[in-house]
Amino acid sequence: MARLPVIALLTAAIVAARLSVSTVHAQASGAPAPAPAGAAIYKTESGLPYYEADALAKAGDYQRTRCRLDLHYPANRPGYPTLIWLHGGGLTGGRPGIPAPLREKELGLVSPGYRFSPEATPEEILEDAAAVVAWTVKHISERGGDPKKIFLSGHSAGGYLAAVVGMDPRWLAPHGLKPADLAGLIPVSAQVSTHFQVKKVRGDTGPEYRVIVDEYAPLYHASQKNLPPICLIVGDRRIEYKNRIEENDLFATSLRNLGHTQVEFYEMGGLNHSTVRYGAWTIIPGYIKRILERNLPPSGP
């Protein structure tokens, strides 16, 4: 496990976020500054439905409203990798958003909404996350991205969804996909036992922190073969969510002991459950680059 001092990393992330916001404000108030020669040119598309037309025809208004995504990508960087970022909120709320510090890292960024409990069942929420993956695999090449370079990530409840969908093959199977089709998983401060809200709606009446590991727990699927590389990121054990570091540490150890050789685990000093996102955004670009260099053959003749 890597324990990272985070002041410099967090400062860099916050500065990047502020610069991104400043750039947006400057462009909104006047003509955008021309990009330097050779610089990446980014495009953003908003409100794209990620279920196919036949599924949407059967969907209710709630699903049609919630199940949309925003996409930000470097239009002149063919073959770019893509990060799907699932927001947190306990599976009961939260707001999607493109992570500002990642906007100019030559990545495709997918930020979806999804349905919430209790209006939606845990199965429906997981189906939404799987549908986002399927949409990205199918459509990212239309915008220049490489469907073999898709990383699934998210924070808190979003990290939980990323881990379950990226490990339990039943969620991607209806789309003709499997976990190994992903280039990597990056759950950030994710619950890797069965999620609190999933336990609740499935009838568990025990204490919140009583650990349950069933088919809705990422930890349950640690023995799956042919999993993608996994990078686990958590905050400081002194101020993180209860059990979060210990669960993820057990998860990483279990994966390694079960034969998974591409597992990384970072505990980020000084960051709590909320702010660990900013630390994660400093790790993710380098992790993606390293994994692709290791696992994908170089392009070109």
Judge whether residue 299 has pLDDT over 80: no
> Has residue 14 been placed in a domain?
no
> Has residue 234 been placed in a domain?
yes
Judge whether residue 63 has pLDDT over 60: yes
> Has residue 286 been placed in a domain?
yes
Judge whether residue 246 has pLDDT over 80: yes
Judge whether residue 99 has pLDDT over 70: yes
Mean pLDDT value of segment 273-286 = 97
What is the reported pLDDT for 31? 47
8-12, 30-34, 50-54, 156-160 — most confident range: 156-160
Give the mean pLDDT of the chain. 90
Judge whether residue 185 has pLDDT over 80: yes
What is the reported pLDDT for 8? 42
Distances (CA, A) of 102 to 128, 261, 300: 23, 27, 26
Judge whether residue 194 has pLDDT over 90: yes
> Has residue 31 been placed in a domain?
no
> Has residue 177 been placed in a domain?
yes
Domain that holds residue 122: 40-295
Confidence of residue 11 (pLDDT cuts 50, 70, 90): very low
Least trusted range by pLDDT, from 19-23, 37-41, 133-137, 189-193:
19-23
CA 52 to chain centre: 21
Residues 6+ apart with CB under 8 A from 146: 79, 80, 81, 82, 140
> Has residue 158 been placed in a domain?
yes
What is the reported pLDDT for 3? 61
DSSP-derived 3-state class of residue 112: strand
What is the reported pLDDT for 128? 98
> Has residue 20 been placed in a domain?
no
The position carrying tokens 């955004």 is: 281
What is the reported pLDDT for 298? 66
What is the reported pLDDT for 296? 82
Mean pLDDT value of segment 199-224 = 94
Mean pLDDT value of segment 17-30 = 38
Judge whether residue 121 has pLDDT over 60: yes
State how many domains the chain has.
1
Q: pTM of the predicted model, to two decimals? A: 0.89
What is the reported pLDDT for 259? 96
Give the domain CATH number at 113: 3.40.50.1820
> Has residue 11 been placed in a domain?
no
Mean pLDDT value of segment 162-188 = 98
The strands making up 145-155's β-sheet, listed across from edge to edge, are: 2-4, 263-268, 230-234, 184-188, 145-155, 80-86, 108-112, 68-74, 42-49
Confidence of residue 37 (pLDDT cuts 50, 70, 90): confident
Quote the CA–CA distance of 232 and 301 in Å, as a whole number. Answer: 35
